[in-house]
Chain A
Amino acid sequence: MSLAVPDEATTTAVEPHSLPPIEAGHGDEGIAWTHRHLLDVDILTWPEIELVLRTAAAMREVLARPIARVPALRGSTVAILFYEVSTRTRVSFELAAKALSADVVNIAAQSSSVAKGESLVDTVRTIEALGASTLVMRHPVSGAPYLAAEHFGGSVINAGDGWHAHPTQALLDLATMRAHLPDGSVAGRKVVILGDVLHSRVARSNLWTLTAAGADVWLCGPATLLRGFEAWAVASVGGPAGSGAPAGGRRFTVTSDIAAALRDAAVVMALRIQRERMSGSLLPSLREYAARFGLTRARLALAGPGALVMHPGPMNEGVEIAPDVAVGPTSVITDQVTTGLAIRMALLYLLAGARGGSGGSGGGDGGGGGPA
């Protein structure tokens, strides 16, 4: 029994992207953030993605201060409701909210009234009644945050829903790549997303932001873990008008040929094998997976010199990524975590603005009454 062989490789040759270069629109101040919720990255235009990254850069500066806390969200409450286990994302959101001086309530579904059978909608209404203005939510069912958003008066941030989306991860991945790639741009560069693509909300959200940034995205894994993904990707990213994809298409390739995928790559992102989401036997064994698709030093050598190594965590070291690669000289995995904090601060801040207050007389100084 063996895994899919490379000759099954399915390749989509979408025509090259025709997006504006990534540096376009620097310094523009006219971009207004209007989204009350962040449920998926596919609602974001490129200037909005840039606004998030710019705001996150300011947040990194805040995090470097002797007192890494600013009063921007003082008096507001952020509720963190997780129906799946998590360490880094939950802690990251909690620290981000605290760095902006918000109050934080953590609700783990396992120890809340959810265990008594309370419905999602009831839980969300209760959280709102208790005064939370932002709900950060992770749920094993794709689309659950959309239901929550319909019943929540404040902002909902999707911290991962099933196979569907993980918007803050995609934004922090993009920010990390731009911080480490020469000239700070992913445009035209080859980015490989390797592993359990099928079950990965990280892969889906990253496909959107990376193709928007003009990257050449390759999704690679055993055929059993790619099945159906390509059709989804074509429909959502390279899809017809109305999907949000710019005319001219975005560039991505889906393949089981790991050598072709890694060749000359600038970034290699290994994905966690998500056994908890697998039904049936999609993999003969983890050992065989590691042998065929694990990111080892030898495989990484196929990529371009200095190729960045990324992983959304948590890692199964020795399965999808070799321990020495995970801590290798070009690994930016820990920087992904730090950047995630800044990205989540930026989003909490921007969403609070879109929720807006009265907009009334404005108690601000406004110095000259205009730009001051």
Chain B
Amino acid sequence: MDYFEVFALPRILGIDLSSLEKTFHELSRRYHPDYFSTAPAAEKTKAVRMTALLNDAYRTLRHPVRRVEYLLSLHGFKSDGSKVPQSLLMEVFEINEQLEEVKAGRASAEQTGSLRAQIKEKRERFDAELRQASLAWDELVKANASEPIRKEHLGKLAEILSESSYIRNLESELEGKGKGH
């Protein structure tokens, strides 16, 4: 069972979060291992596996980026946030150079601020593109588009995703996130 099937959803990207949560709560009440603690071992194990699947599905589908990643992985696309996307090839040297300056503590507050703004602007641009492309995907699904057309669109989604995750990585490096706390 894939994550969309868990929630009885078609493979679409525009998901209403409050109805997703409602279904999540209903299914939790049906499958959660807390309700099977006195049941036979086999049923208990099944409850744990079912709930794990439900939680994995909810964690993935409620997040707009993870949702796209998952859809792509279902269609055999591999995401790689470390590869420099073609469209960023020109700017990436400059951004990286500035980032090194910031990390080494040589950048002024002004320079850091400008880099932050530059990265944020790009991230927002990609986020908007991703939203657009996601909506377009849903239209194709609704219109029952042919397999080659779908594949082509998924390719486009994959490209935007790799751009946006590349920028996201730069952003978290700048904020020092994911470096432990």
A binds B: no
B→A interface (CB under 8 Å): none
Residues of A whose CB lies within 8 Å of any CB of B are none
